[in-house]
Amino acid sequence: MPLNQQILLDSRPTGEAVVSNFKQVSSETPALQDGQVLVRHHFLSLDPYMRGRMNDAKSYAAPQPLGQVMLGGTAGEVVESRSPKFQPGDKVVGMGGWQQYSVVDAEQPGALRKVDTTHVPLSHYLGAVGMPGVTAWYGLVKIIEPKAGQTVVVSAATGAVGSAFAALAKARGCRAVGIAGGPEKCRYAVEELGFDACIDYKLHQDAASLSNALKGVCPDGIDGYFENVGGMVLDAVLPRMNAFGRIALCGMIAGYDGQPMPLTHPALILTNRLKVQGFIVSEHMEVWPEALKELGTLVATDKLRPRESVAQGIEAAPEAFLGLLKGKNFGKQLVKLI
C-alpha cells in the first residue's frame, strides 16, 4: 500500500488562521478490508466553511478534531477495490480530506459517488457541478424563489458558489448582479459568467457608499440576495431590498476570525417583511440529483464557464486555504495532487 502524505489540524487558531495551525505528516495506508476501496486523490477542495470548523465552538458542523486529517471534498480515481460497486479506474468524488489517498467504506451511503468526465472535467465536480454549485442552486431556487424579471444579487460573485449563481439566475430570466473584489473579477463576472452588472466592493470605504452603488445598478431594488460575506456588504444590501424580498444566508466570511458582526439596520428586516433563511446544503440531499443535472448541463453546453485557482501539491494546501479566506483565489480554489 502507498505511503500517504497528509495535512493535519495541529492547533486551533486564535483570531486569524495561520500556516502553523497545520502540520504535514506521512503515514502508511492501511490494507483494504472487504467492502472498501482505495482512492487516489487528483484534487482537494478548499472551501470557506473549513475555517469555522477549525474553531472549537458551537456551529452547524462538528469542530475539526485536532491531530487528524483536515476534512474536505476530494475528486480522484479508484486504484484498488474490494467492493463490487467500484472498479479500478472509476472517477469518484467524496470527502477524503487533505491527503493523497483515502480508504473508503463503499457500503456507507453517500461516501463515494461515481462521476462521468466525458463532458465535465473531474475538477468541476468539486465546484460548479458539486457542493458549491448545489449550494447556489438551493439558495436561489428554494429560498429566493425568483420570478422572471426580478433582480437577484450575490456577494463573492466570482467564487465557486457565486459563479454558478449567475448562470442559474439567467436561466430563470432574472437580472443578476454580483459583488466582487477588484476590477479583474468584476470584468470576468460580466463578460464570462453572464452577470448584468458587478460592483467592486474594494472601491467603497463604507456600507453607505456600497449601497449607493447598488442603487445605481439595481434601479428597481433587490428581490433576492444570496449572502456569502456578511458585515459591511449585508449592511449595504439591506436598504436596497424590496418589500417581501428573500435572503439566502449561506456564509459569513467576514466573521470567520471570530470578530463580532453587528447589523446596522436590523429594523429593515421588519419594515420590508424580509425572509432571511440560513441553510446548509448537506442537509438537503434530496435536491442534489435535480441540481447536479442542471449544473452539469450548463457546464457541458458552455453556459457556465467556471474558473479555477489551482495550487500544486499537498504541501501548498495551507497557504492556498489562507489565501482563499482573504479573497486571493479566482473562482473555485483547488489543490492538484497529480
What is the band of 9 on the pLDDT scale with cuts at 50, 70, 90?
A: very high
pLDDT in tens, 155-186: 999 998 999 999 999 999 999 999 999 999 99
Using 50, 70 and 90 to split pLDDT, how confident is the model at 220?
very high
Domain 131-282: which CATH class? alpha beta
237 with 211: CB under 8 angstroms?
yes
DSSP 108-162: STTSEEE---SSS-GGGGGTTTSHHHHHHHHIIIIII---TT-EEEEESTTSHHH
Q: Which long-range contacts (CB under 8 A, 24 or more apart) does 265-270 make?
A: 265/235, 265/238, 265/239, 268/238, 268/239, 268/241, 269/238
**CATH of region 3-127+306-336:** 3.90.180.10
Q: Percent of the chain beyond pLDDT 70?
A: 99
Q: Where in the chain are all domains bearing CATH 3.90.180.10? A: 3-127+306-336
Cα–Cα distance, 111 to 330 (Å, whole number)? 29
- Decide if pLDDT at 115 tops 80: yes
Residues of the chain with CATH 3.40.50.720: 131-282
Dist CA 73 CA 289 (whole Å): 18
- pTM passes above 0.85: yes
pLDDT tens, 279-332?
999 899 999 999 999 999 999 999 998 899 999 999 999 999 999 988 888 889
Residue 171 CA from chain centroid, whole number? 20
Q: What's the CA gap between 178 and 155, in Å, rounded?
A: 6
Query: For 180-210, how does the pLDDT look when each residue is reduced to its tens digit (9 = 90+)?
Result: 999 999 999 999 999 999 999 999 999 999 9
